[in-house]
Amino acid sequence: MTNYILKRLGQGLLTVFLTVSTVFILIRMAPGDPAVSYAGPLASNEQLAAVREQFGLDRPVLEQYWIFLQQLFTGNLGQSYSFQAPAMQVVFERMPYTLTLATSAILLTAVVAIPLGVWMSRRPDTGKEFGVNVLTIAGQSMPDFWTGIMLLTGFAVLIPLFPASGFATWGGLVLPTVTIAILQIALISRMVRREMTNNLAAPYLTVARSRGVKNSVLTWRYAMGNSAIPVFTALGTRFAAMLNGVVVVEVVFAWPGVGSLIVRALETRDYPLIQATVLVTALLAVAVQLLIDLAYPLLDPRVRLGKAATA
Amino acid sequence: MNAATETPFREQPLLEVRDFQVELITDAGIIRAVDSVSFSIHRGETVTIIGESGSGKSTTAMGILRLLPEDLAVLSGTVLIDGVDISADPKAIDKVRGKTLALIPQDPMTALSPVHSIGSQLFEAIRIAGAASAKDKDALQARAVRLLEQVHIPTPEKQLKKYPHQLSGGMLQRVLIAIALASEPQLLVADEPTSALDVTVQGGILDLLLELQEQRGIGILMITHDLGVARLISDRIHVMKDGSFVESGEVQQIVDHPATEYTRTLLAAVPVLGPWDETPADARGAHAASGGSSATTTDPALTQTGAKP
């Protein structure tokens, strides 16, 4: 088990390293000049050269990469150009907002999608199930910026129930959470239905039914117990993806998270800030993935106990 | 078995099936999978339905237990289980499931939930049977251990903590029989209980069923395609083909004097070597069609297994 954890940890760190290295190279290949963004369009060539020298951008790319690697091991990725503060610190200040949004979105998804999927699996081919099915396809098809703007118009402008932007009060959490959750609920509930439909038709379920096990127990203990692993994995993976910043939704709702931060960092070609954001979110995503892997043995005895010799 | 002859048939049968019919709704239209079959099983009796794959024998059993999908199978006719008419009121089946009636499934490897322990699934059956309350952990444990001992599972306390994937097919089938026995059932429906098992453990499972029947006088409905199994365990045999019984009678009469060509083909399909038939049904069909020389009712393989007269 310890070996397994160390192996997964090693793989995860390698993934993070390759990710930040790729991003380091890609942002330098992309068009745009940080010095122009920093010094403004009216700056003279001398001013631009001074800025480049200040940020170390006049050095060869390989040398810049070497400096970056040294920074990587000290955990200090340099000053953000636009915030004039350590890039890592800027990211860490934004991280709680994204964590809050991602957590509330994934909780709402789980609370709605699991019962909804179970409900659909138990009433196949009925009118109501068809209706819900159509709704989930619609939910899957609506782009989140559109959903976000519709919710903003509806519940912040026309009926001003919630604030339109920012996170000044807990009410501000509602619309961005719902916007993210609509898509996730549509995807996860259809997955729950598929898994449940398979498990409700499994031989062990028929045998359990034959010994008088009640329908509710068959559904929740047996079929859900066996559907839990893939559903949990999907929820975990989606949560990890949200930690990378729910970019579009954060921008639509002016949410002060990492998603809107990376948009700003990219716009201003703020290399240290881009690198710091990518580093932190990649680390978090790898950590969540590792936690999912570690939770498998708890959910599935076949993983926990391995293939034992036959008795 | 002997009990069957001792018990007067005047007594109410454990299972009485009259004009039972199952129609399956498929994409290709409605198929009559079971066509007006009638039979009965008394206390201590074993009645076997034998037939090839697709003959409707398993559908008959699953239909009687009302385990076919409700939206795909239309049942008609009368089924009385220990006097309870489960055909008139679909809810009546709940009164007999996990109480007077128990199922022993075809493939033990897929018949238990893989993420729940043997113990938790056995405890659940004991609770449903009302033999011990959920709160009384010691009583549950004691009852579970005794059930596993009855099906000859070694170190029962250890097995309760295990999960299905840690046990062999033969052991799992014993666990499933223990689960079935939790409620002290009167009637066991065994749907090809040995066909998924290794030849070496098949005999052990059948011996166990016979032993339990002798001890408790339960009635058994045995579904099989295997004449060796049928001959060993049955009092009466119904030969099924295309959804209806083509021949019915005492086991000896069917084996010695088959009345129909189909039964003769089934008999001919028993291989000479080895006491138990493990050949797939289609291979046996081909063997029979090629005029297998083993078409003999005095097959030593059958008598060597200790088949009863």
pLDDT at A293: 86
Closest approach of B249 to chain A, Cα-based (Å): 29
**Contacts with B309 (C-beta within 8 Å, 6 or more apart), sequence order:** B252
Residues of chain A with Cβ-Cβ distance to B166 below 8 Å are 305, 308, 311
Inform me whether the C-beta atom of residue A198 falls under 8 Å from chain B C-beta atoms.
no
Give the number of beta-carbon pairs within 8 Å between A and B: 91
Q: Does the pLDDT of residue A109 top 60, yes or no?
A: yes
Residues of chain A with Cβ-Cβ distance to B62 below 8 Å are 206
Q: Does the pLDDT of residue B295 top 70, yes or no?
A: no
Q: Is the CB of A204 less than 8 angstroms away from the CB of B112?
A: yes
**Contacts with B293 (C-beta within 8 Å, 6 or more apart), sequence order:** none
The rounded distance, in Å, linking the Cα atoms of B297 and B274 is 15
Closest approach of B112 to chain A, Cα-based (Å): 5
Q: Is the CB of B168 less than 8 angstroms away from the CB of A202?
A: no
Closest approach of B267 to chain A, Cα-based (Å): 31
Q: Does the pLDDT of residue A219 top 70, yes or no?
A: yes
Q: A59-73, A88-102, B70-84, B290-304: lowest mean pLDDT where?
A: B290-304
Residues of chain A with Cβ-Cβ distance to B159 below 8 Å are 311
- Please, what is the average pLDDT of chain A? 89
pLDDT class of B277 with cuts at 50, 70, 90? low
Using CB atoms, which residue from A217, A225, A310 is nearest to B115? Answer: A225
pLDDT at B306: 40
pLDDT at A311: 36
Q: Is the CB of A207 less than 8 angstroms away from the CB of B102?
A: no
In chain A the first and final C-alpha atoms are separated, in Å, by: 24
Mutation site for A-interface testing, chosen from B67, B100, B157, B165 by largest number of A Cβ within 10 Å = B165
Residues of chain B with Cβ-Cβ distance to A228 below 8 Å are 115
Which H or E run includes B41? strand B29-41
Q: A155-169, B221-235, B286-300: lowest mean pLDDT where?
A: B286-300
- Hey, what are B46's tokens? 């074993």
Which residue in chain A has the smallest CA separation from B183?
Answer: A211
Tens-digit pLDDT profile for residues A2-23: 888 888 889 999 999 999 999 9
Using CB atoms, which residue from A204, A305, A308 is nearest to B113? Answer: A204
Inform me whether the C-beta atom of residue A215 falls under 8 Å from chain B C-beta atoms.
no
Give backbone dihedrals phi and psi of B222, rounded to 5 degrees, phi first: -105, 130
Which residue in chain B has the smallest CA separation from A125?
Answer: B71
- Pairing of the two strands B15-26 and B73-81: antiparallel
Inform me whether the C-beta atom of residue A3 falls under 8 Å from chain B C-beta atoms.
no
Using CB atoms, which residue from A225, A299, A307 is nearest to B113? Answer: A225
Q: Is the CB of A311 less than 8 angstroms away from the CB of B128?
A: no
Arithmetic mean of pLDDT, B146-160: 92
pLDDT at B278: 56
Q: Is the CB of A211 less than 8 angstroms away from the CB of B94?
A: no
Amino acid at A290: L
Specify the pTM: 0.80
Residues of chain A with Cβ-Cβ distance to B128 below 8 Å are 211-213
Q: Is the CB of A311 less than 8 angstroms away from the CB of B168?
A: yes
Mutation site for B-interface testing, chosen from A211, A216, A307 by largest number of B Cβ within 10 Å = A211
Judged by DSSP in three states, A183 sits in helix
pLDDT at B299: 42
Which residue in chain B has the smallest CA separation from A210?
Answer: B97
Closest approach of A28 to chain B, Cα-based (Å): 51
Rounded percentage of chain A residues whose pLDDT exceeds 90: 55
CA A267 to chain centre: 22
Residues of chain A with Cβ-Cβ distance to B98 below 8 Å are 210-213
The rounded distance, in Å, linking the Cα atoms of B49 and B70 is 23
Cβ-contact B147, B87 below 8 angstroms: no
- Please, what is the average pLDDT of chain B? 83
